[in-house]
Amino acid sequence: MPTVLAIETSCDETAVAIVNNRQVYSSIIASQIPVHQQYGGVVPEVASRQHLETLNQEIAQAMEQSHKDWGQIDGIAATCAPGLVGALLVGLTAAKTLAMVHKKPFLGVHHLEGHIYATYLSESTLDPPFLSLLVSGGHTSLIYVKDCGNYETLGETRDDAAGEAFDKVARLLKLGYPGGPVIDKLAQTGNPQAFALPEGKISLPGGGYHPYDGSFSGLKTAVLRLVQQLEKEGREVPLADVAASFQETIARSLTKRAIACARDYGLNTIAVGGGVAANSGLRKFLQAAAAEHNLRVLFPPLKYCTDNAAMIGCAASDHLSRDHTSALTLGVHSRLPLSQVMNLYEH
C-alpha cells in the first residue's frame, strides 16, 4: 500500500500525518480551541490564519517523527471538502505545492470519508460492508459503507448536528466552548432521568416517523425553555441534571436509529466516527444496545475521534492503491455530499 503525507485543515485543527494503509508513522495535531474559546465558537478568518502560521512547522515535524524522506512518500493528500473554505484552501494549496515540488500524485479527500476511515486505524479486521454512524460538530449521518468511495447515506439530521447541539446547549448553560467534553463531564454527576426531553422525530407524510432521520433543534429549544422556566420560578438550574438528561436523550436517539438501520440492512458492524464518538453516554448506550442484538460496535481511539490527518491519510492511501488521483485544478467545497466522493478523482 502507498505511503501518504496527509493534511487536514477543514476547521479548527491543523493536522499533518504520514500513513501507509492502517499504519500511522506520524500524526501531528495542533488544536485551536484556546484561540476560539474567547469567541464562543470557531471564527473562520482566525482559523485560516492559525493554519497558515502552523502548517509548515507541522509538516517538518511529521516528516521527522516518521523517519521518512521524500523519496519514501508515494502521494500527498489534503482535505478538500466539506469545511470552512478559507481553512480548506490553506491545506489544499500546501498539498498541491508539495505534490508539484516533489513530483508526487495529489489526492483531495472528503472529510467525512476520513471519519469513516478513522476506525480502520485501530481495527485491522474491519472491512466493508458496515454501517458508519458519523457524529460530529457539523454532521450526523448513518452511512452504508459498501467499498472505498462507495457510500449511501441512509439517515441524517434535518437540522443541527449532534456536536452542534452540544455546543449550543453548553453556551445556553454558560459552560463555555467546546460543549461536548464539558457536558459529558458534568453529566457524570447528574441524574439522566431528572428531565424528560424530546428526541426529535421526523414525521412522514403518510403518517408515522422516519426510521433513521432525526432532529436536534427541538431538543435544544426544550432545554432553553426548561432553563427559562426554572429561572422564572426562582429555582437554581441543576446543571448536572440538565446535562445528564440532555446527553442521555441524544445518546438514546442516536442509538435507536443506528441499531434499527443496521438490523434493517443486515449489517452486523457499526463503526462510529466524529468528535461525538468520544462521548461516554453514546458509547455506553450504543454498546449495550448492540450487545442485545449481537451487533459489533467499533469506536476509534479518542485521538482519532476529533479531526486529524491520520484518518485522511488512511483514506488517501486506499484510494491511491486503486490508482485514484486528483487533478491539480481541484478546488475546495464548503459542502459536498458523500455520494460525490469519486468526483474528486480523475477517471
Q: What is the pLDDT of residue 32?
A: 67
One pLDDT digit (tens) per residue for the chain, 347 residues: 999 999 999 988 899 999 999 999 999 998 867 777 777 778 878 878 888 999 999 999 999 999 999 999 999 999 999 999 999 999 999 999 999 999 999 999 999 999 999 999 999 899 999 999 999 888 899 999 999 999 999 999 999 899 999 999 999 999 988 889 999 999 999 999 999 999 988 988 988 999 999 999 999 999 999 999 999 999 999 999 999 999 999 999 999 999 999 999 999 999 999 999 999 999 999 999 999 999 999 999 999 999 999 999 999 999 999 999 999 999 999 999 999 999 999 85
Q: What is the pLDDT of residue 228?
A: 95
Q: Report which DSSP code applies to 167.
A: H
Give the distance, in angstroms, between the CA of residue 148 and the centroid of all CA atoms in the same chain: 18
> Any alpha helices (H) in 157-238, and if so which ranges?
162-172, 179-187, 217-232
Tell me whether domains 3-118+305-344 and 127-299 share a fold. yes
CATH fold of 3-118+305-344: Nucleotidyltransferase; domain 5 (3.30.420)
Whether the Cβ atoms of residue 209 and residue 201 lie closer than 8 Å to each other? yes
Give the distance, in angstroms, between the CA of residue 215 and the centroid of all CA atoms in the same chain: 18
Q: What is the pLDDT of residue 39?
A: 73
- pTM confidence score: 0.94
Separation between Cα atoms, residue 237 and residue 277, nearest integer Å: 28
Separation between Cα atoms, residue 39 and residue 146, nearest integer Å: 40
Q: What is the pLDDT of residue 78?
A: 98
Whole-angstrom CA distances from 206 to 202, 210, 347 are: 12, 11, 42
Output the DSSP codes for 252-264: HHHHHHHHHHHHH
Extended strands (E) in the chain: 3-8, 13-20, 23-31, 75-81, 106-110, 130-135, 140-147, 150-156, 269-273, 296-298
Could you state, in order of their start, the residue ranges of all structural domains in the chain? 3-118+305-344, 127-299
Please, what is the Cα angle at 77 between 73 and 78, to 5 degrees? 145
CATH fold of 127-299: Nucleotidyltransferase; domain 5 (3.30.420)
Burial (CB count <10 Å: 0-12, 13-18, 19+), residue 293: exposed
